[in-house]
Chain A
């Protein structure tokens, strides 16, 4: 189990998941998950559909609160040692610090500019100059600026799929979060667009802490520092990505990465 693995760095982990149990109504989907994620790492969560990896991801910014029946059964998720589910935590400021990119690229049917600054607008920033600056900064970071700088005020849904997904990344990093959660960010994209997103993650590595859910094991190998394998709501194994794929300790992990477990 991952909990037995000593942390590779001495530093305090940024995200600590402790004995986390999570359920939709009576249907428990996460069991006693213990997982540490370190600052500036890229962590990949892998596992077959329904294994709970997306639920864990969506619990980190508490976006799963939107699901009526979802509830924490027991355990904690901490960022910087602060329990996210404590009553005094404001989900709004949590989400400003923990950005999220979804599987289906879904820019709002508004202009590219309005998409990029959405998070800032709802945070109450009105100054046109500040907004323009932030839009340029985040679009540059997302490697999209050169492609869209002449049509910032055209509707975002006119972009290609890959561009739309990079716009979603730009939109998330406009708020300068510390953590970026990505829920299968390339699942709806073609291989070229996927490559560009992966390249982008490489460029942004070190600026943000990435937690990425992926079904694509090659992708996990390419982008992740560490990989956690989930099966049936339990964390089976968590280790350096190379170790997971080359020397898995658990037979279930091995079965999954060799395609014998679905």
Chain B
């Protein structure tokens, strides 16, 4: 405690309890903020230090292209008598052993840790495309209805409560829901309904059978769409509400219908925000593991979704047949199960014996994953900036 001020400055602090509490509160809050920043930095640094060496290399082209362009494979590590480790794949293992001859000491195999992670990257990309497409359509439609059409009242409160609850549902619950709804019972057109079909409606030329879509991109994408739906609805609604009410009144006063008003004078000004929120939704969808575990993802798959064995066309096949096969190959992408980054990381970290090689694959995958998500977030910020500059009021 300071002694009472000797000069007669009436504004001199007396260092009372009030002032001390003020200082203490400010420092407590400041320290809390610093801790948050430190933790974020620690995570980033940890992933960077451990993951960057896997993805980048000292030699040209400085990026480990194998890691980014190959499918995961089993890694064979062969040790010679001098204790050197030679890494190779299943095909190279015999050749290496033969070359070493007497020098050969031991061989280790590590599942999934060799090759690259192209399969998971492609799978995650496909899941994101489907889920964001579905969620944007449903979410923006719902947000527009809630914000522009629905009247305040019981119903609106109920819908909002439902959205809030949807946001609170644990993601594994979505996973099980997706398994039941999309994998096992979603409607599909087939010639002959499967045994397990819940029920089927014959339509003459085909049958609408509720037998599910099986484990595939479509099932996983729809499940993920419901995970990110609340995010997209809430954010889109906020963006719509941020458009000045005056625009709506003016537009309607000039004889526009509600839909014209929304189309010309509300949506264009809300789009930047909606896109930003949907890109954040992408990051969320890409990162979820539980919803795709039962609906889309495999621990391992040795083919990309478009590498399918279709019957070869006869030599004189018409251009139409070629076209048809291309289309079915394209659509087939979405009915294939895939590998996905978060599930791949889970497999590497929890399903195989841990050693330096598995760890290398883990951190490499996590690093790539983080870079992908971070660049999505960054692009959303850029996009918002550009659109904001275009539509200012």
Which residues of chain A have a CB within 8 Å of any CB of chain B? 61, 63, 66, 68-69, 92-93, 95-96, 99-100, 102, 104, 106, 108-109, 118-119, 121-123, 157, 168, 171-172, 175
Contact = CB atoms under 8 A, between A and B. Distances in A.
B251 interface: yes
A92 B257 contact: yes
A109 B255 contact: no
Contacts of B154: none
A95 B269 contact: no
Contacts of B248: 66
Given A123-B255, A157-B392, A108 B250 contact: yes
B324 interface: no
Contacts of B255: 92-93, 95-96, 119, 122-123, 175
Contacts, number: 71
A157 B253 CA distance: 19
Given A95-B253, A122-B256, A157-B393, 20 more contacts: A61-B253, A63-B249, A66-B249, A92-B257, A95-B252, A99-B254, A102-B253, A104-B246, A106-B244, A106-B250, A106-B393, A108-B265, A109-B392, A118-B256, A119-B254, A122-B257, A122-B260, A122-B264, A123-B255, A172-B254
Contacts of A63: 249, 252-253
Nearest to B257: A92
A117 B252 CA distance: 14
Interface size class of B (residues with CB under 8 A): 20 to 34
Contacts of B260: 122
A68 B253 contact: no
B137 interface: no
B391 A100 contact: no
B159 to A, nearest CB: 15
A109 B257 CA distance: 19
Contacts of A171: 250, 254
Contacts of A121: 264
B59 interface: no
20 contacts: A63-B249, A63-B253, A66-B249, A66-B252, A92-B255, A96-B255, A100-B249, A100-B253, A102-B246, A102-B253, A108-B264, A108-B265, A109-B393, A118-B254, A119-B256, A122-B256, A122-B260, A123-B255, A171-B254, A175-B254
Interface in B232-253: 244, 246-253
B151 interface: yes
Given A109-B391, A157-B393, A99 B246 contact: no
Central interface residue in A66, A102, A122, A171, by most chain B CB within 10 Å: A122
A59 to B, nearest CB: 13
A187 to B, nearest CB: 13
A102 B250 contact: yes
Interface in B337-393: 391-393
B99 interface: no
Contacts of B152: 68-69
Contacts of A100: 249-250, 253
Interface string B180-192: 0000000000000
B232 to A, nearest CB: 24
Contact of B269 (A104, A109, A175): A109
A122 B250 contact: no
